[in-house]
A and B are shown apart, each in its own frame.
Chain A
């Protein structure tokens, strides 16, 4: 199974090597990857439908409890089949849709990577790996949305999607870590048995809050929904695959997966019901006012996702069954509609529903697919969508107090969705064919066959629900409710209130379609509210944030070296000064001080004078000469106080430094006075403060007793262990030889740096 999951990554990594082949004739081979995977997962159906989950375990980082453990149960199976099945069709579709595109290879690479991440996500049993795959889907989605990377809008949308889903990813990470530590395990299977303990745990509210944010961002729930319409900038296969059928369902998957573990509490249910209900009605109403086919479908997708969240929130067996069925229903018809949209766009060059009409005359198979999908979307019998809608109403009707409100919301949503489906799947194909579209022709079969297949399945499953009842829906249901209940799904329930509601929905939807004609005027009316929409709020916040960051960076990282120095030193001085002010224990033991001789006093005086000269001299030569004097004076101090090695080294280095300065001095700029008196006084005060502070600190350290353990060790073992009598040298070449080794390497690097700075040719810009 691990090979099945990773195959997408392997293919993606081979894309750069095989790019010629993929751009040429080889591209027809790629769809066979998802097709093979689809067949592979189909082969597990007998096993899984009998309630046996397939486990695969590979140890990865056992010390952290992170393993590559995969588990194929009913829920995973449904998603795996959707991912690979729709994946196959999308891969075929892309073959024609992007034929001859210069970056076709790249596109297939991203798509394979996405497919693999998505498979990993739904099959992971370990929540850490689940998180990793979750992030991978966000990243591949980013690349796919920004695929047309020369379009600034496309880049902007990709960035928006990444920041929203990436934000959710961070919440997910926090959530799974908290979940893992609270439950004591990272395995979903094991967490299942901890369900009760987790629900009563103190962290429970935090865990579900974090998981909710993750799921809502990924599945475009209000108020995080706005990235999804933007994501429609991606090529249509991507919109089909990621943003209607699979990736946006990852959030739903997460909620569904954790329903048996964490669900059933009032916090869990109420939050999901409220968010789901708000999203589904809000987005459904929004869909009414769109003109762009993709825009309509985007909002209707958000709305459908809202329905799913809502159903999971209801949490009853009916509702969970409805959710399981609706995932499949929605994937089938929404993918069809997107693919149809892609064909229409590809062939006519527009997606504006107010312009499109009569296309059935030129592309009949596409029109058939669109009609079928629109009807399934509408929930008309005998389509699969009818079953889905039935189940939803059944779930909402028997809820007691809130049944009316929630059923009402469901009806409003469904009516709007029906309208949206008709707008995208019916309107462009009926009526008279405008003259500008007369030249439009049917595309290659690899483009129109996929939507037709999907739409056909929508009809087939509706007519013969037993095809999938036992094999797919039952295992999904079992993994959602975690008990043995047996389900029955059928098309005809007899005349009852649910049927009445379905008919009501159909009638209202049809009436709405009759009355409401999409137009620019209508759309512009809704734009007025755009100012307070979450999207514009986020964008305002974003620009505010960037502005703040720029101000902050500009203020602190202004590129003036001395400002950095002043900031650092000023802060340090304040901090240390405050500490010293708090209580300093200055104690000088005059008895322990070494004696002064006249020579030493003279050396110190010479040094002090040279320092003054170095600082205040107007001439570079004087400054350098004084610097040399300082060096030699230090050399003498080393000599006085028992450091002959240091004295010798200091002497030679000082000589060489002076030589170096003398060599370059006339090529260095002349001294100039840049700063004003005020600035100089300020700098002077700061320097004096800092110098004083260092002096006081030194005194304080001097009054502390010294730990000589290290030096005693070296002094005692220098000869015994290293056979040397000059302890300093022994430390350098023996005890700490490794440090010296690195040090001479640094010296070599400095020399190479000097050499290359001087010897390498000036670039053209420098010659001017």
Chain B
């Protein structure tokens, strides 16, 4: 699979796909998309890159073990759910900033929650795939 074309393409594909996945994540509240799909697309981006350049290359780009994304994502999701507790609302009440941002639209706790999901999905998928391809 390690052809020059594929290798070169994947180098450009990776940032593009990751960017695309973030786009999908952010628009999820209004149009098809969201944390699950975004996370999966990002993982596919890294998997393609690792197919073309080898796991070690991909890992050196990420710099840390993808498994660490799992607790981080879980923590973000939990904090975004627990944040309303601070102002006396019940767990997972939606909170929103007053003014919408230009591209994303309204920013609220749900978006942070979705980001948590996004990170967990990337963490889980990459951990599984990397572990398997390393040990086989």
| Per-position binary interface string of chain A over residues 207-227, scored 1 when its CB falls under 8 Å from any chain B CB and 0 otherwise | 000000000000000000000
Q: Are A645 and B33 in contact (CB under 8 A)?
A: yes
Q: Within 8 Å of chain A (Cβ to Cβ): is B22?
A: no
Q: Within 8 Å of chain B (Cβ to Cβ): is A765?
A: no
Q: Are B30 and A748 in contact (CB under 8 A)?
A: no
Question: Which residues from chain B contact A644 at a C-beta distance below 8 Å?
Answer: 32
Distance in angstroms between the alpha carbons of A209 and B127 in the assembled complex: 64
Q: Are A748 and B136 in contact (CB under 8 A)?
A: no
Q: Within 8 Å of chain B (Cβ to Cβ): is A667?
A: yes
| Per-position binary interface string of chain A over residues 639-662, scored 1 when its CB falls under 8 Å from any chain B CB and 0 otherwise | 000001100110011011001100
CB distance from A653 to the nearest CB of B (A): 6
Interface residues of B in 71-126 (CB under 8 A from A): 71, 73-74, 77-78, 81, 91-92, 94, 96, 106, 108, 110, 113-114, 116-117, 120-121, 123-125
Number of residues on chain B facing chain A (CB within 8 A) = 48
Q: Within 8 Å of chain A (Cβ to Cβ): is B18?
A: no
Interface residues of A in 694-728 (CB under 8 A from B): 721-726, 728
If A659-B129, A733-B113, A734-B94 touch, whether A664 touches B136 (CB-CB below 8 Å) is yes
Chain A, interface size: which category? 35 or more
Residue of B nearest to A748 (CB): B70
Q: Are A652 and B41 in contact (CB under 8 A)?
A: yes
Question: Which residues from chain B contact A729 at a C-beta distance below 8 Å?
Answer: 28-29, 33-34, 114
CB distance from B131 to the nearest CB of A (A): 5
Q: Are B32 and A645 in contact (CB under 8 A)?
A: yes
Question: Which residues from chain A contact B92 at a C-beta distance below 8 Å?
Answer: 734, 737-738
Residue of A nearest to B116 (CB): A744
If A660-B128, A755-B67 touch, whether A648 touches B33 (CB-CB below 8 Å) is yes
Q: Within 8 Å of chain A (Cβ to Cβ): is B37?
A: yes
Q: Within 8 Å of chain B (Cβ to Cβ): is A486?
A: no
- Picked from A648, A744, A755, the residue with its CB within 8 Å of the CB of B74 is A744
Q: Are A645 and B127 in contact (CB under 8 A)?
A: no
Question: Which residues from chain A contact B133 at a C-beta distance below 8 Å?
Answer: 663
CB distance from B125 to the nearest CB of A (A): 6
Interface residues of B in 21-40 (CB under 8 A from A): 24, 28-37, 40
Q: Within 8 Å of chain B (Cβ to Cβ): is A741?
A: yes
| Per-position binary interface string of chain B over residues 7-20, scored 1 when its CB falls under 8 Å from any chain A CB and 0 otherwise | 00000000000000
Distance in angstroms between the alpha carbons of A737 and B67 in the assembled complex: 23
Q: Is the interface of A mostly helix, strand, loop or mixed?
A: helix
Q: Within 8 Å of chain B (Cβ to Cβ): is A681?
A: no
If A655-B44, A741-B77, A744-B120 touch, whether A732 touches B36 (CB-CB below 8 Å) is yes
Q: Within 8 Å of chain A (Cβ to Cβ): is B61?
A: no
Question: Which residues from chain A contact B136 at a C-beta distance below 8 Å?
Answer: 663-664, 667
If A744-B74, A744-B77, A744-B121 touch, whether A656 touches B43 (CB-CB below 8 Å) is yes
Question: Knowing that A649-B40, A751-B124, A755-B128 are A-B contacts, what are 20 other residue pairs whose CB atoms are under 8 Å apart, sorted by A's residue number?
Answer: A652-B44, A655-B44, A656-B125, A656-B129, A660-B129, A723-B29, A723-B108, A723-B110, A725-B29, A725-B30, A729-B33, A729-B114, A737-B81, A737-B113, A738-B92, A744-B77, A744-B121, A748-B71, A750-B124, A754-B128
9 of the cross-chain contacts (CB-CB < 8 Å) are: A656-B125, A656-B129, A667-B136, A721-B94, A729-B28, A740-B117, A747-B120, A750-B128, A759-B131
| B-to-A contact residues, CB < 8 Å | 24, 28-37, 40-41, 43-44, 47, 67, 70-71, 73-74, 77-78, 81, 91-92, 94, 96, 106, 108, 110, 113-114, 116-117, 120-121, 123-125, 127-129, 131-133, 135-136
| A-to-B contact residues, CB < 8 Å | 644-645, 648-649, 652-653, 655-656, 659-660, 663-664, 667, 721-726, 728-730, 732-734, 737-738, 740-741, 744-745, 747-748, 750-752, 754-755, 758-759
